Structure 1
Amino acid sequence: MIQKNAHLPNIDRWRQWKEFGLLEAKQSLIESYLPLVEYVSNRLSVGLPKNVSKDDLSSYGIMGLIDAIEKFDYKRGLQFETYASWRIRGAIIDGLRQGDWVPRSVREKSKKIEEAYQKLEQQYLRSVTDSEISAYLQVSEAEFQQMVQEIAVTTVCSIDDPIREEDSETRLSLLVDEKAKNPEYKVNEFYLKETLSKAIERLTEKERTVVSLFYYEELSLSEIAEVMNLSPSRISQLHSKAILRLRGSLGRFKTQLFQES
């Protein structure tokens, strides 16, 4: 029966699954969208510790894909790939968090640097330098660079996380998506766009380039390293600093922007 469904257009398989509950159609949909799991897990695997296996990432991702297929409303005319991608990503991240793969000390360092960027850039109204951050944290620049390298694995895709569980939109997508939004979200999204735009303006030129190539052009960090003629570890550092700056800028608007309606 799966073989029979495999040639059907996706809309027909969605109809068979959603309206008639045919498990063969659901299985066929899962199989047809499995490449999404591989794509998302490969991107999330960049910079992760070696003890995190790709098989584990794929397993978490498949659970996210199944969840997406069960909850997706095909009649709304939305793109399933976008919806499923963040569901898959979320399932992988949840699985990693449950496994406690990032030491608490690394999370604490990430939080301290994020708060430092938030406070200093709010104070100076510009992009702060590594030396200014180091002085604020009372560490040497070499120690600061080491801290950034240690927390690099915690920042991958954080700007790709959805704003709310019910939404398929991410923080970054709001900068480029010109489609009309629901009226109740327009004010919050306007301020979010303004905040993100200003935060991105404060990134250094190299940080902006990394963010653009990773999130807009969807290159891997190793591919970005080749384009920019820098080492992968340097690209990882630039990515981490960019995300920490952006999260710091968004942090003070969190209550205003992300409160439940």
Structure 2
Amino acid sequence: MIEPKAPHLSNIEMWQSWKEERNIEAKKQLVEQYLPLVDYVTNRMVIGLPKNVSKDDIFSNGVMGLIDAIDKFDYKRGLQFETYASWRIRGAIIDSLRQGDWVPRSVREKAKRIEEAYQHLEQRYLRSVSDAEISDYLQVTPKEFTGMLQEIAVTTVCSLEDPIREEDAETRMSLLVDEKAKNPDHKVHEFFLKESLVKGIERLTEKERTVVSLFYYEELSLSEIAEVMSLSPSRISQLHSKAILRLRGALAKQKDQLMQKS
């Protein structure tokens, strides 16, 4: 993982000094110590973003997320700060990207079309569908479909951390994380959503599953995955996009069904 900078005070002393005494110097040391974490998250998220999106801006928003994490973290609970901070940093970056409306409407519409195509065809055939089948359904050539995937790659990098539905706060990634006990109705919904996610992952091709595993669980960047799998970065980006669109379609369908039953 990331090696934090050596602090002037011990880690626990810095937390105590900031939380108990509101020592600004201690807070500055904490920020400095965990800045490499912001750099790490930024480098993972900047891949695939348009050239007009500044990495410096992404980093700056990540720093704001880190500061927010330091302000809200309860060190007495004995939890891992790096994990908590990573979510806050990513959240701050994603919020800034949403506010900046960095993806053209036409690209979002293409992503939605492909997502719905996967959802419709895989529900019909109960299996993973091929690129040729998706191309036929969308009435585009295989070359045009590949071009669409390249265009929408920017919409899928953060997609597991987006809300399942636009009006929801619950994210797709949150379905993979154990949480404290909730009311029975919520647990039933969560169970079926997790089941849907598992089935969606099972329908991915072997290469798509590998990309998802390396990116979200091993936390490799897309360029690192390209080296591991001996494929070009653009090919890895396409595999990632297809995998995420399949999963988004599966989860959106399940979520709609659950909402109708509520």
Q: TM-score, normalised by structure 2?
A: 0.85
> Which 5+ residue runs of structure 2 have no aligned equivalent?
1-5
The more displaced of 110-119 and 238-247 is 110-119
> Which 5+ residue runs of structure 1 have no aligned equivalent?
none
Deviations 1:183-239 (A, max 9, x none): 436434332321111100000111111111112222221121122221111110000
Residue number in structure 1 paired with 2:232: 231
What is the CA-CA distance between 1:53 and the residue it aligns to?
A: 2.1
- 1:1-261 alignment to 2 at 5 Å? 6-160=7-161, 171-172=172-173, 175=176, 181-184=180-183, 186-254=187-255
Alpha-carbon contact 1:116-1:137 (below 8 Å) kept? yes
When residues 51 and 14 of structure 1 are mapped into structure 2, their CA distance, relative to the original with a 3 A threshold, is same
What is the CA-CA distance between 1:22 and the residue it aligns to?
A: 1.9
SS in 2 for 1:219: coil
Alpha-carbon contact 2:14-2:26 (below 8 Å) kept? yes
What is the CA-CA distance between 1:39 and the residue it aligns to?
A: 0.3
SS in 2 for 1:119: helix
Distance 1:191 1:88 in 2: 29
Distance 2:119 2:27 in 1: 46
Distance 1:203 1:86 in 2: 26
Alpha-carbon contact 2:8-2:29 (below 8 Å) kept? no
Alpha-carbon contact 1:159-1:172 (below 8 Å) kept? yes
Amino acid at match of 2:76: K
RMSD over aligned CA atoms reads 2.5
Paired residue total: 248
The more displaced of 123-132 and 36-45 is 123-132
Amino acid at match of 1:124: Y
When residues 72 and 32 of structure 1 are mapped into structure 2, their CA distance, relative to the original with a 3 A threshold, is same
What is the CA-CA distance between 1:257 and the residue it aligns to?
A: 7.4
Alpha-carbon contact 1:86-1:161 (below 8 Å) kept? no
Alpha-carbon contact 1:161-1:170 (below 8 Å) kept? yes
What is the CA-CA distance between 1:50 and the residue it aligns to?
A: 2.1
